[in-house]
Amino acid sequence: MRYCVGVGAPEPCRHPFQARSSMEAMGIDVVATVERAGLPVAFPVTDKVTWTGLVLLF
């Protein structure tokens, strides 16, 4: 598995052409999309962080 360097790291990204933008950066309302999918959304996060991803097929 390949990992990129973290934000603020002294070295540049090792795989700049494999980088992917966040859903928010693509203009997707993540909270509304997750709610429409029937998944629970709660703010502020209290005990457990749930990461959300999206796979687009065409």
pLDDT for 25-39, tens place per residue? 889 999 999 999 998
Dist CA 1 CA 16 (whole Å): 15
Torsion angle (degrees, nearest 10) of CA 6, 11, 12, 15: -70
Domain total in the chain: 1
Residue range(s) defining the domain that contains residue 42: 21-47
Is residue 6 situated within a structural domain?
no
Residue 7 lies in a domain: no
More confident residue, 2 or 41: 41
Give a yes or no: residue 25 inside a domain: yes
pTM (2 decimals)? 0.58
pLDDT category, 3, cuts 50, 70, 90?
A: low
Q: Are 38 and 46 in contact (CB under 8 A)?
A: no
